[in-house]
Structure 1
């Protein structure tokens, strides 16, 4: 689960899209992406939302373009 959430967080899917489907604020998504909030420190509720989002969209999740 944690590795799948990491793939989502590191993907190029916008914080806006994640926010609209999960209800997790764009600022929290941004803080997770920037490392200000560690992935292991997010609430169980948010982890569940992010994991469900990942499962729904895993075909669309690609690593960020370097």
Structure 2
């Protein structure tokens, strides 16, 4: 699961480089992750609370560093 999360974060970062810089990077990350990673985890029978917490923790690291 960690490799999947890293892949999502990497691709989201690349995509966000093309967005309007007036938009909040934190808001863009939050929106993108909610629409991809979190919805995938919530709909997967294999995901655990630990997986969701892992993604949430990494989101906070990424968005707080921007």
Provide the TM-score with structure 2 as the length reference. Answer: 0.36
Which structure ranks higher in relative contact order (CA pairs < 8 Å, sequence separation ≥ 6)?
Answer: 1
Provide the TM-score with structure 1 as the length reference. Answer: 0.36
